[in-house]
Structure 1
C-alpha cells in the first residue's frame, strides 16, 4: 500500500440528514454509482471483493468494516496495482452531519491531476447531499 503523501486537502459538505442516515446509505457499496461517479459508474461484487468501472479503469475497492463511528475509509487498488487509502468520515452536526473526504496527493500526481480529483470528489459529495436531502 502506498503511504507517502506530500499534501492533503479536506473536502466536505454539510447534509441535512442525520449522520446515521447518511452513513447507512453511503456505506453500502452497491450505492456508489448513484453518488460517487469519481469512483465508478458501476460496481459489482466479484469473489467477495467490490470491483468498480472507474474513470481510471477497473479498480478494486475495499471498505472499512461497518462501524458506529461514521468511518467510510476505503482502499482503492488502481489498474497499475498501486493501492490508495481514502479517509472519509460522516460526522454528526446537530440534526445534520458533515461528510469529510481527505484527498491525499500522491507523489506522482501532477497539480492538474490533484485538482481534477478534488473537483470529482466535490461533485460526488454534492450528489450525495442532493440524494440524501431529497430522500
Structure 2
C-alpha cells in the first residue's frame, strides 16, 4: 500500500475562535467562503445542497462541537461522501483555521496542487469575510 500524502493549509483570522467557528460551521455561509467550488447553497428537504462546477452536491458539517472541528462532507447522487477536514484553534488574540488536504488515490500531481491552491483561496475568503 502506498504512502498517504497530505498538505496543511492555514490562515490566521483576527476574530475569536468561537466567532470563526460559528460563522464557518453555518452551512448558510458556505458559498461566502468556499469560493473555489461552491457557487450557491440552499436548504432542500432537510438537507443542505450546493451548486458546484461538478453539479449539485449534498453538504453536511460535523455535529456542532466545542472543539472547533469544522469537518464538512460533500456527496453527489452517486459515489462516496468526500470529507474535508478543518479545525479552528486559538492563536494569540485571534484564531487559526487549519485545513488538511489529502491526496486522492493516484491523482495527477497537478490536481493535488490545484486542490491545495483552492483550499488556500477558500481560507483567505473566510478571513476576508470575518475581518471586514
Q: Give the alignment's TM-score, normalised by structure 1.
A: 0.89
Q: Tell me how far 1:6 sits from its aligned partner.
A: 2.5
* Count of matched residue pairs: 131
**Distance change in 2, residues 1:33/1:53 (3 Å):** same
**Distance change in 2, residues 1:30/1:84 (3 Å):** same
Distance 1:82 1:111 in 2: 22
1:55 paired residue number:
53
2:62 to 61, 64, 70: 64
Conserved in 1, the CA contact under 8 Å of 2:27 and 2:60? no
1:133 paired residue number:
131
**Distance change in 2, residues 1:107/1:5 (3 Å):** farther
**1:41 is the counterpart of 2:32:** no
Q: Tell me how far 1:80 sits from its aligned partner.
A: 4.7
**1:101 is the counterpart of 2:96:** no
- Any gaps of 5 or more consecutive residues in structure 1? none
2:9 to 8, 11, 16: 11
For residue 56 of structure 2, give the secondary structure of its aligned residue in structure 1: strand
Distance 2:18 2:78 in 1: 35
1:124 paired residue number:
122
**1:89 is the counterpart of 2:87:** yes
Q: Tell me how far 1:39 sits from its aligned partner.
A: 3.8
Conserved in 1, the CA contact under 8 Å of 2:35 and 2:125? no
Q: Tell me how far 1:56 sits from its aligned partner.
A: 2.3
Q: Give the alignment's TM-score, normalised by structure 2.
A: 0.91
- Any gaps of 5 or more consecutive residues in structure 2? none
Measured on the aligned residues, the alpha-carbon RMSD in Å equals 1.7
